[in-house]
């Protein structure tokens, strides 16, 4: 399943893994995010074995409609809603800028909180 764009010179296909890579880097740079988390226990074990650099990101699209689900771990003591909004906005901006197409939804799932050593 690839994102296809027809141009005068041919066709451009962008894989979901490439989109996930853009979203992954954007999410990690967002304020309050300490890491990405697997969607489930099975995904966590798979990531441990395979070392997928885009774990915690799920990209789906059907009929040119792109949806991104992001599973993050947030720093304890920071407003979760603020972090989630920041991640969604940042990911949407960077992916739309890279692809030149609109994203229908960016869903942010908070999988956990991490307490810093100083607390």
> pLDDT of the chain along its 119 residues, tens only?
555 566 677 777 888 889 999 999 999 999 999 988 876 555 545 454 555 667 789 999 887 789 999 999 999 999 999 999 999 999 999 999 999 888 999 999 999 888 876 65
Are 59 and 103 a contacting pair, CB within 8 Å? no
φ, ψ (nearest 5 deg) of residue 91 = -65, -45
This prediction's pTM:
0.79
- In eight-state DSSP terms, residue 37 is -
Contact assessment for residue 74 and residue 33, using Cβ atoms and an 8 Å cutoff: yes
How far apart are the C-alpha atoms of 96 and 109, rounded to whole Å? 20
């Amino acid at each position: 399943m690839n994102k296809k764009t027809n141009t005068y010179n041919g066709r451009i296909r962008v894989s979901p893994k490439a989109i996930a890579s853009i979203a992954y880097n954007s999410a990690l740079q967002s304020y309050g995010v300490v890491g990405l988390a697997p969607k489930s226990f099975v995904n966590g074990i798979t990531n441990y074995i395979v070392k997928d650099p885009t774990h915690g990101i799920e990209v789906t699209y059907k009929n040119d409609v792109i949806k991104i689900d992001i599973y993050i771990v947030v720093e304890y003591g920071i407003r979760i809603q603020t972090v989630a909004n920041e991640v969604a906005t940042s990911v949407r901006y960077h992916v739309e800028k890279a692809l030149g197409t609109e994203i229908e939804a960016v869903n942010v799932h908070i999988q956990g909180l991490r307490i810093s050593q100083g607390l």
